[in-house]
């Protein structure tokens, strides 16, 4: 089979198209024929080895955590899946260096597979894995909020989504609206404002703006219940201006930050503010499974989709052009980078 691999850390140029043997699934495993692979920042950060020595050798690694395809074979003791089932995968590359989705077939534990509901395509399966699961976690960590999402679960609550045109921001808007929240999104341009509106947000505000906190308070006079935050360090002061008492900040990124966050102790103390830092790799299998179930329910309801009409422009690449796909994501292209790996049928 064709597979993209890298054998050392570095830029997109370390990715190469290779031939790998198709593995058989073992006990509890399933072989998936990948149709579409999704690219996320975590994929190119892992390839670049941001916490490793530049150019360091690594085991032959197939990149990309997200993907969707068709069950090709099941191993012993597997129930719930059969050849022909359409599925999306959860953190495929975390299973082992050879299990990423930038290849025609991958073998994964059955627990890393989720059925694609009718009406949802492979683009959704590959494009909404990490972003949607991250958004789900962010929307379910508040002390006074729900631990699961469903229609009405966030009714009466106001959610502020920082960076509403990003992949996680877009998923957070769609999921929060599905769950009944009022959503305020912040964006940096009119083009991105249009994308946030397409996702379903009721209110869009531009940054940078020294009066941003006041403008948010005009929409939410009592303060926002929850902030889904991509720029933690930059917006730390804003949080104390707009949070209601016992409000929560769910921080999954620190874009344009230094990696160090300074918090005003007194202001946060008086608010009884809660800060939840989150990353999927250590969130726990129970949280991943709960998120996958709720995301699938939103997909089944038609409430969660990708495409420009939902605020997620798609940028497609061939498997042979995976290096270009990684470069596009790394350069900060707006929308979702997808790799067409194999035929849908």
CATH class of 2-130+285-340: alpha beta
For 268-304, the pLDDT digits (tens) are 999 999 999 999 999 999 999 999 999 999 999 999 9
pLDDT tens-place string over residues 170-220: 999 999 999 999 999 999 999 999 999 999 999 999 999 999 999 999 999
Question: CA 60 to CA 79: how far, in whole Å?
Answer: 31
Global pTM value: 0.97
Angle between helix 129-138 and helix 167-178 axes, rounded to 10 deg: 60
Mean per-residue pLDDT over the chain, rounded: 97
Same-fold call for 2-130+285-340 versus 142-277: yes
In words, the CATH class of domain 142-277 is alpha beta
Structure token pair of residue 318 = 């061939």
Three-class SS state of 341: coil
CA-wise closest residue to 338 among 131, 148, 78, 198: 131
The region that residue 42 occupies, defined by phi over 0 for left and psi between -120 and 50 for alpha, beta otherwise, is alpha
Q: What is the DSSP string of 156-219?
A: T-EEEEESTTSHHHHHHHHHHHHTT-EEEEEESSHHHHHHHHHHT-SEEEESS-TTHHHHHHHH
Among 36, 35, 58, CA closest to 47: 58
Asked whether 296 and 171 are in contact (CB, 8 A), the reply is: no
pLDDT at 55: 80
Q: What ranges do the domains of the chain cover?
A: 2-130+285-340, 142-277
Q: pLDDT tens digits, residue range 113-164?
A: 999 999 999 999 999 999 999 999 999 999 999 999 999 999 999 999 999 9
């Amino acid at each position: 089979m064709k597979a993209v691999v890298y054998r050392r850390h570095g830029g997109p140029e370390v990715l190469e198209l290779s031939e790998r043997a198709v593995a058989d699934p073992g006990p509890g495993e399933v072989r998936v024929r990948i149709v579409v692979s999704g690219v996320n920042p975590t994929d190119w950060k892992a390839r670049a080895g941001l916490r490793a020595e530049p150019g360091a050798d690594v085991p032959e690694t197939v990149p990309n955590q997200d993907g969707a395809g068709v069950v090709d074979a099941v191993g012993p003791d597997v129930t719930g899946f059969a050849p022909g089932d359409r599925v999306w995968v959860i953190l495929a590359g975390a299973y082992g260096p050879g299990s990423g989705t930038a290849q025609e077939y991958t073998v994964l534990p059955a627990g890393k597979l989720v059925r694609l509901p009718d009406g949802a395509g492979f683009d959704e399966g590959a494009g909404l894995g990490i972003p949607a699961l991250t958004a789900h976690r962010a929307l379910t960590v508040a002390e006074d909020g729900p631990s699961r999402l469903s229609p009405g679960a966030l009714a009466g609550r106001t959610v502020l989504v920082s960076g509403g045109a990003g992949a996680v921001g877009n998923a957070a808007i769609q999921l929060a609206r599905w769950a009944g929240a009022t959503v305020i999104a912040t964006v940096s341009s009119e083009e991105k404002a249009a994308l946030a509106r397409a996702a379903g947000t009721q209110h869009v505000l531009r940054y940078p703006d020294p009066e941003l906190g006041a403008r948010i308070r005009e929409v939410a006079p009592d303060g926002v219940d929850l902030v889904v935050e991509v720029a933690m360090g930059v917006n730390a002061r804003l949080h104390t201006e707009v949070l209601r008492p016992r409000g929560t900040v769910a921080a999954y990124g620190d874009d344009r930050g230094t990696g160090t966050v300074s918090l005003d102790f007194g202001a946060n103390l008086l608010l009884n503010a809660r800060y939840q830092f989150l990353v999927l790799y250590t969130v726990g299998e129970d949280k991943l499974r709960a998120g996958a179930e709720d995301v699938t329910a939103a997909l089944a309801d038609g409430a969660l989709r990708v495409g420009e009409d939902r605020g997620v422009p798609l940028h497609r690449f061939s498997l042979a052009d995976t290096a270009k796909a990684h470069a596009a994501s790394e350069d900060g292209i707006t929308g979702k980078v997808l790799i067409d790996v194999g035929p849908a049928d």
